[in-house]
Amino acid sequence: MTTTMATSTKVHNQPPPPEIRFRPLLLSDLATLLHIHAKIFPHGNDEDPSLFYEQMLSNEDSDKMMTLGAVDSSRPDDKSDEIIGYVVTTKIVNASDSELADNIVAGESSDKLDNKSLVYVMWLGVLEAYRNRGIGTYLMKEVIEYASKIPTCVGIYLHAVAENKAAIKLYKKMKFKCVRRDVVTLMLGHVRSGLKSAGTRLRKIKQERQHRS
């Protein structure tokens, strides 16, 4: 089971500094991603992530993935486009068959989730030197906006290491709720109509900031 890691010990309401840029992940990022993965997720499952990352970056499942990387444009030229943080999600199609079905429908029949989907955040992390700059929060907001544009999506979920209190604090402040606690914490956020409204608000905020700049 893949787990996410905290990118900050506090949630930033302000956008990341201007030198931090965001772009889709590319196949040329493979070596850097594997290096970051080993640093951020040292206690993940025993599976080698290299094949997954290579397939993902080759766009073999591009219709089911959302990826976004952060780079520091103020670094020297040979490092200015090198990934320093990223998020990877997978769209889960069968929401009614997931372990979260009961949490989503709040006691109603799970039949209402037929042909509905969930967005699962597989990995989200930022290198330690770049934490506390709002980068992780920005990446998660992009996930929310992405999910809100999927007509069938009814929520976002992820796993976090139970002892990683900073990660759980971050997700709670972003309106995620803990629905199970064990070795990992299962968290669900922005369910049903709340997902669409959250995405709309984020798009308006982004447009206002772009207009001011």
pLDDT in tens, 148-193: 888 888 888 888 877 777 778 878 888 888 887 765 667 777 676 6
The amino acid occupying position 33 is L
Rounded to whole angstroms, how far apart are CA atoms 22 and 157? 22
pLDDT of residue 29: 94
Under a CB-based contact definition with an 8 Å cutoff, are residues 39 and 85 in contact? no
pLDDT of residue 8: 36
Nearest to 144 by CA among 179, 187, 189: 189
Rounded to whole angstroms, how far apart are CA atoms 100 and 164? 21
pLDDT of 43 over the 70 cut: no
pLDDT in tens, 94-145: 777 777 777 776 544 556 777 888 888 988 889 989 988 999 899 999 998 8
Rounded to whole angstroms, how far apart are CA atoms 1 and 188? 16
pLDDT top residue among 88 and 169: 88
pLDDT of residue 9: 36
CA torsion, ordered 58, 64, 65, 66, to nearest 10 deg = 130
pLDDT top residue among 1 and 144: 144
pLDDT of residue 153: 87
pLDDT of residue 73: 95
% of the chain beyond a pLDDT of 70: 78
Under a CB-based contact definition with an 8 Å cutoff, are residues 111 and 61 in contact? no
* End-to-end Cα, the chain, rounded Å: 41
pLDDT top residue among 4 and 8: 4
pLDDT of residue 163: 76
Predicted structure pTM score: 0.82
The amino acid occupying position 204 is K
